Amino acid sequence: MTNDECQHSSCLNCPSRHSTEWRDLNAQELEAIDGAKLTRRSSPGTILFHQGDEAGGIYCIQSGLVGLRHIDEHGNSSLVKTCSTGTTVGYQAFLSKTAYSNSAEILIDSEVCFIHSSAISRLLVENPKLGERFLQHSISDFNELESSYTRNQSMDAKSRFLHILMVFYRQYGFADNDGCPRVDIPVTRGDLAGLLGIQPESMSRTLRKVQDEGLVAVNDRRVTFLRMDDVMNEAGIAE
């Protein structure tokens, strides 16, 4: 199941370097990270870390998709958030020296670098810009959480689903031969329900409803947008 293989490449050549916290580091500092990192190609199902584990470093997603999963006190696990190419995962637990508050799981084939804590700690004192980047990241994560919080309050499940559809579309969307906008949802139905904060049964019904209304067509994980403007409208997306 964990069909992993290791490899090595320099951060200098990382295509998403300029969108990560490491963007301000010089060649020498990047080399320090290279020395402390472990790059791994993993397939879906692989666990990067478990909720409750002590943070031992930071994970940097070179390509692919990682899901953050939270397990509540009753043992119910549910997907909380997805993180894609060019983002770092687990930095909050590491920086606040606490245990991971959720688990990280590979959702689609991905390349992920693990950077050991010691190197980061050293760089943090040497280069204050690095801390500044993490600060910005934390603030933007906060804002994202806050807006999904209010979205859950003010929109119903259907609108929330259409919203997340658009989020996926902006990232993975494509136009088919016929010109129809399409997107492949990168998660299972159950996980989709978790992201929206509803039960799997409700997810199913929502899916049924949006199809009956002719907004989209759903085939397994592939979604075709039939009335894009209406979808955007109901999703509460202006522009």
Partner DNA sequence: CGTCTGGTTGATCTAGATCAACAGGAGTGG
Partner DNA sequence: CCACTCCTGTTGATCTAGATCAACCAGACG
> Contact residues for a copy of itself (CB under 8 A)?
70, 72, 92, 95-96, 101, 125, 128, 131-132, 134-136, 138-143, 145-146, 149-150, 152-154, 197
- The distance from CA 113 to its chain's CA centroid, rounded to whole angstroms, is 15
Least Å distance, CB 204 to DNA, is 4
Q: Please, which residue, 19 or 143, has the CB nearer to a copy of itself?
A: 143
Least Å distance, CB 93 to a copy of itself, is 9
Tokens of 230: 């209406």
- Please give the C-alpha separations between residue 147 and each of 50, 86, 99, 236, in angstroms, as whole numbers: 26, 22, 25, 12
Between CA 92 and CA 234 the distance in angstroms is 34
- The distance from CA 65 to its chain's CA centroid, rounded to whole angstroms, is 6
Return the number of other C-beta atoms located less than 10 Å from residue 229's C-beta.
8
Residue 107 binds: one of a copy of itself, DNA, none (C-beta under 5 to 8 A by kind)? none
The stretch near DNA (CB under 7 A) out of 24-32, 45-53, 86-94, 190-198 is 190-198
The stretch near DNA (CB under 7 A) out of 30-38, 116-124, 126-134, 189-197 is 189-197
Between CA 69 and CA 84 the distance in angstroms is 15
201 binds DNA (CB under 7 A): yes
Q: Phi first, then psi: what are they for 113, rounded to 5°?
A: -100, 135
Determine the Cα angle at 78 with ends 235 and 186, to 5°: 55
Q: Please, which residue, 70 or 205, has the CB nearer to DNA?
A: 205
The stretch near DNA (CB under 7 A) out of 18-26, 38-46, 129-137, 193-201 is 193-201
236 binds DNA (CB under 7 A): no
181 binds DNA (CB under 7 A): no
Contact pick of 131, 173, 181, 197 for DNA (by CB under 7 A): 197
Between CA 110 and CA 41 the distance in angstroms is 6
Q: Mark residue 27 as left, alpha or beta (left: phi above 0; alpha: psi -120 to 50; beta: remaining).
A: alpha
Least Å distance, CB 83 to DNA, is 20
Residue 207 binds: one of DNA, a copy of itself, none (C-beta under 5 to 8 A by kind)? DNA
Rg over alpha carbons for the chain, rounded to the nearest Å, is: 19
73 binds DNA (CB under 7 A): no
**Nearest CA to 51 among 86, 100, 94, 92?**
100
202 binds DNA (CB under 7 A): yes
Q: Please, which residue, 190 or 197, has the CB nearer to a copy of itself?
A: 197
Q: Please, which residue, 18 or 208, has the CB nearer to DNA?
A: 208
Summarize as ranges the residues that interact with DNA (CB under 7 A): 156-158, 188-190, 197-208
